[in-house]
Amino acid sequence: MLIQGIFVAVDLVQIRKLAETKENENWSFRSFLKTECDLEPDEVDQVVFEITRRVWAGIECTSCANCCREVTPTFSEAEVDRVTKRLGMQRQEFIQTYLEQSDNDSDNPWQTRSTPCPFLKDNLCSIYEDRPADCSGYPYLYKPRFVSRTLAMVERTFTCPIVYEVMEELKKSLGFPRKTKSRGTSHGRASQR
């Protein structure tokens, strides 16, 4: 996919390869944002919001749907009730069919049992109007406090082409001193969790 003269990978294999080549650089950028950046965190948020608006305008999420294939969304009790009603199912039947208990968040005690998401049909969300906030807010680039959330953002570069492109544009915009080609993953994704 070509956006503003830049090739943007939406294929999951391609986006992972690209993210892997930038992983060390992204960890360095995370450190730069926290310790060397001249902007205040709320100013960084404004830059992220503007870049996100531009990048998102050029990417059709339904041509990708990587988040629906890779991420396990959580559901609040109210979201369970809303989706249950939409699907015309009994609450217990819905939970037994699609959900399991989440150990992450007491506000969202449920998560999908599997990936890809059981509600993904032909790259479209079959419960789109009633999808949980985890889905409607993803990839959380419009959420404040980007600098404090960079660990998750670096991880999301492996799944979401929007996050990958926003990170690349943000590095340019903030004058991040890039190193020569990044290779490998000396930080290792698993050790950063």
Q: What is the pLDDT along the chain (193 residues), one digit of tens a residue?
A: 544 444 456 677 888 999 999 999 999 999 999 999 999 999 999 999 999 999 999 888 888 899 999 999 999 999 999 999 999 999 999 999 999 999 866 799 999 999 999 999 999 999 999 999 999 999 999 999 999 999 999 999 999 999 999 999 999 999 998 765 544 444 444 434 3
The pLDDT assigned to 190 comes to 41
- Long-range pairs, 126-131, Cβ under 8 A, ≥24: 127/83, 127/86, 127/87, 129/86, 130/79, 130/82, 130/83, 130/86, 131/73, 131/83
The pLDDT assigned to 8 comes to 58
| Interatomic CA distance for residues 71 and 9, integer angstroms | 18
The pLDDT assigned to 39 comes to 96
The pLDDT assigned to 15 comes to 86
The pLDDT assigned to 59 comes to 85
Q: List for the chain the helix, strand, coil content (%; round to 5).
A: 55, 10, 35
The pLDDT assigned to 63 comes to 82
Q: Give me the amino acid identity at 186.
A: S
In the numeric block, which tokens belong to residue 16?
């992972």
CB contact set of 185 (below 8 Å; sequence gap of 6+): 20, 23, 24
> Could you state, in order of their start, the residue ranges of all structural domains in the chain?
2-67+140-192, 72-136
Question: Using N-to-C axis directions, what is the helix angle for 161-173 and 12-35, rounded to 10°?
Answer: 40
The pLDDT assigned to 105 comes to 60
